[in-house]
Amino acid sequence: MKFFADTADTGEIRELAATGLLDGVTTNPSLIKKSGRKLFEVLEEICTIVDGPVSAETVALDYETMLKEGQKLSKISKNIAIKVPMTVAGLKTCKALRADRIMVNVTLCFSATQALLAAKAGATYISPFVGRLDDVSEDGMELIGDIRLIYDNYNFQTQILVASIRNPLHVLEAARIGADVATIPAAIMKQLFKHPLTDKGLEAFLKDWKKTGESIL
């Protein structure tokens, strides 16, 4: 499963990219606002840090303007993936951009039928928001399972990009189901490294090593 960082903080992205485990980045208007920087400035910098897909979101609601926004954003770099909403205008834009071989991430997906439509429109990625479904007492990971089944039934090439991840368990469940990508906030990605027994074991090893009086260097 690929790991994308869900952030527009270039400092966080550089730190995660240094691990060699980062496959891409997703942004949205809220994350751009949180960064306190200009949209194009942030996206251009992110594209110099990661080689993988970098999702940049359109904000128009009508097809004509959305398409123009997507075309303009795509010129930032060849690894820009245009984010469009799961609407009629969004899927029309998706189909048009894909005809020009521009990557498209269809976002704000909350049902398997929406995911089916996105795949038929040729989306590169579909972004189901599992955390937001959990917030309204629906099982977000059940949706991921349904999408995986449907896509496998028809050999759709659209990749399932699990979004709105709230905890490490979401990442584990997405991997079990067979999602293609998880887009993860930096804080949660760092939690994946940690386990109390790892810390305890390391502490014991270092304590014993100190008693030997030796040095590797």
Q: Which residues are catalytic?
A: 83
Tokens of 124: 């590169």
3-class secondary-structure state, position 210:
helix
Q: Which residue has the tokens 């090593």?
A: 209
Q: Using N-to-C axis directions, what is the helix angle for 88-99 and 63-74, rounded to 10°?
A: 40
Q: Could you tell me if 104 and 82 are in contact, meaning their C-beta atoms sit under 8 angstroms apart?
A: yes
Contacts with 16 (C-beta within 8 Å, 6 or more apart), sequence order: 5, 22, 186, 189
Q: How wide is the angle at C-alpha 125 spanned by C-alphas 132 and 51, nearest 5°?
A: 110
Alpha helices in 50-157 (DSSP H): 63-74, 88-99, 112-120, 130-135, 140-154
